[in-house]
A and B are shown apart, each in its own frame.
Chain A
Amino acid sequence: TQLLEQSPQFLSIQEGENLTVYCNSSSVFSSLQWYRQEPGEGPVLLVTVVTGGEVKKLKRLTFQFGDARKDSSLHITAAQPGDTGLYLCAGQEGGANNLFFGTGTRLTVIP
C-alpha cells in the first residue's frame, strides 16, 4: 500500500497570509497531482506535475515536484477565504492504473 503523507493535517490562517502544504512519500511517482475538495463536492484537479524539480504557478498557487519525484509542495500566497478547502495530493506510479491519494490538508482561511 502506497502512503502519501501530507502536512500539516489542519491549517487555520488569516486572510492575506502565506502558507505551504507538503506531500511526502517513500515511493517514486511518474506524475503527481493536486486537488481541492469543498464540502459536499468531489475533488477538483488543480495541477499535474510530471518532471522532477518542476515548478508550476497557477495565479497565487505555486506547485513544486521534488527532484527525486517522491515529494511535492503547494505554496499559496496571500490566502483568501475562497482558498478554504481540503487539499489532496495524488501520485501515480509508472504502470499503475490508479492514483494514490494523500491524507489531505484541511485549510481554513479566516476573513
Chain B
Amino acid sequence: GAGVSQSPSNKVTEKGKDVELRCDPISGHTALYWYRQSLGQGLEFLIYFQGNSAPDKSGLPSDRFSAERTGGSVSTLTIQRTQQEDSAVYLCASSKDRSYGYTFGSGTRLTVV
C-alpha cells in the first residue's frame, strides 16, 4: 500500500483482557518495527522483524507481549492479560532495511481501564 496501515486506531479494553494490534507495512519493505509511546515519554522499541529471520524481541517489556509477522508482510502485536501500565500509543514502522529511515503508521491508542 501507499503507507503503513494500523488497526484499530483506538482500543479500550478492560484490565486482564487480551488485545491484538495489526500492522500492514509498505509493500516491499522487509524491515518492520513496533514501538510504544507513552504520554510524556519517548518512543520505546519493542520488536524488529527482518524478512524471514528470527525477530529481535529484546525490547518486549514482559512475556505478556508477543508479535508475529506472517508471510513477511502483516504483523500482529498481542498483549495478554492487559494492565493499566500498558496504556500507550503503539506505533508500527517499516523500512527497506534497517539502514533506511522509517515510515510510521498512525498508531493504535490503547487504553486499559
Q: Which residues of A contact B (CB under 8 A)?
A: 4, 31, 33, 35, 40-45, 48, 88, 90, 92, 96-104
Task: Establish whether residues A45 and B50, one from each chain, have CB atoms under 8 Å apart when the complex forms.
Answer: no
Which residue of A35, A41, A98, A99 contacts B106 across the interface (Cβ within 8 Å)? A41
In the complex, A103 Cα to B43 Cα: how many Å? 8
Which residue of B45, B56, B106 contacts A100 across the interface (Cβ within 8 Å)? B45
Q: Cβ of B42: which chain A residues have Cβ within 8 Å of it?
A: 4, 88, 101-104
Interface string of B1-42 (1 = CB under 8 A from A): 000100000000000000000000000000001010000001
User: What are 18 contact pairs spanning A and B, CB under 8 A?
Assistant: A31-B99, A33-B101, A33-B102, A40-B107, A41-B104, A42-B4, A42-B93, A42-B105, A43-B104, A48-B101, A88-B42, A88-B43, A97-B50, A98-B33, A101-B42, A101-B43, A103-B42, A104-B42
In the complex, A96 Cα to B98 Cα: how many Å? 8
Number of A-B contacts (CB under 8 A): 51
A94 to chain B, nearest CB (A): 10
Q: How many chain B residues touch A (Cβ–Cβ < 8 Å)?
A: 21
A6 to chain B, nearest CB (A): 9
B43 to chain A, nearest CB (A): 4
Which residue of B48, B59, B104 contacts A42 across the interface (Cβ within 8 Å)? B104
- With A31-B99, A42-B93 in contact, do A98 and B45 touch (Cβ < 8 Å)? yes
Task: Establish whether residues B48 and A97, one from each chain, have CB atoms under 8 Å apart when the complex forms.
Answer: yes
